[in-house]
Each structure stands twice: as structure tokens, then as C-alpha cells.
Amino acid sequence: MNWRWNAQRLAISAFLAFHLLAVAVINLPPSPLRASLWWSVEDYLVPIGLDQSWAMFAPNPVLHPATMEVNTVDKDGLQRIYVFPKMTDFSPWRGIPRVRHSKFTSVCGLPQNTAHREFATRYAIRQLKIPASSFPVEAEFLYQVKETPPLGEPPRDPLRPPVPMTLATFRFPSIREVQP
């Protein structure tokens, strides 16, 4: 009986050591050390949303709010648009559990995160409930940035629309391609 307790404690300790090491690696600033260790922790931390980005810290934090959309066109030419939720869409109490939405939006805007954009596009197509008979579907991942003025400059026109950028386009031949 005592060996089981020791085995459980050893397993828990090994998991905690791995988790703390993974969090430490992902929080390193860009460097050769982080690049060499990144592959060992990305498959663990990225899917659960614990990856980090130095872009949120000084001296150069992200200054511009961004939004994401996916525009789809099915085989019959029917266009559907999915707009990802923004924190401003929720009351403060409903927004608390969704705080990762804005982080995911920032992550999708980074050039190297093509897999994140494809994941988000597949999710959007599932949310649109496009029937299997409407495939193949062409999808365009749009990232929209609303520029804020530099510090000390007067505010820009608040009605000025955000600048949309197509970051990726995808073609899904069947509904099986978008299902989890």
C-alpha cells in the first residue's frame, strides 16, 4: 500500500516539474534556448491556451485592438460570415471566463501561427452549421486592426473602420475536414 502512495506522489511531482518547466520555457524571451526547447512544450501548452507572448509586455505592448472574421463561400455561391466574439460583446461578469478570446485574437495575427488560423477557421465553419451538401467550402480568414493614435496625439476619427487583412485562405472539400 505504501508503494502506491509513493508512486502517486512521484507521478504528481513529475507532472508538476514538467508543467513548471514548460511554463518557464514558454515565458522565456525570444532566444536560441527558447527556440531549441519550444518544440517540446508547444503541443502541451498551446492547445490549453497557456502559451505566452512577449508582445503583451513593455516596452512594446500590442497597442491596436484586433478582431477576426471568417468569410465562407459554399459550392452554390452562398456567402456566410462568422465574426468571432470580442470582450466588448460581454458584460464584465460574462467576460471574465472569456478573457482568453482577446489573447487568441492576438496569437492568430502573428505570421508564424498558421495552424491557429486554420483551427479558428474550422471552428467558424462549424459554428455556421454549413450542411454537408454545401461542400466544398472556400474560407477567408480576415484579421482587422483598428489603429490607435500614438501617445500624445489626438484621437482619430472613431467612426473610421478597421483595416481588414486577409491572413489565410482555405478550401475544405468535405464536412469531415472541419469536424473535430
Axis crossing angle, helix 114-128 with helix 100-109, rounded to the nearest 10: 120
pLDDT-above-70 percentage for the chain: 86
Contacts of 105 (CB under 8 A, 6+ apart): 66, 67, 68, 84, 86
Torsion of CA 105, 109, 115, 118, to 10 degrees: 70
Are the CB atoms for 172 and 137 separated by under 8 Å? Answer: yes
pLDDT in tens, 75-117: 999 999 999 887 777 787 777 776 666 677 877 887 878 888 8
Distance of alpha carbon 147 from alpha carbon 149, whole angstroms = 7
Report pLDDT for 1.
56
Distance of alpha carbon 54 from alpha carbon 30, whole angstroms = 8
pLDDT at 58 over 60: no
Residue closest to 68 by CA, chosen among 127, 156, 5: 127
Q: Average pLDDT for residues 49-58, to the nearest whole number?
A: 64
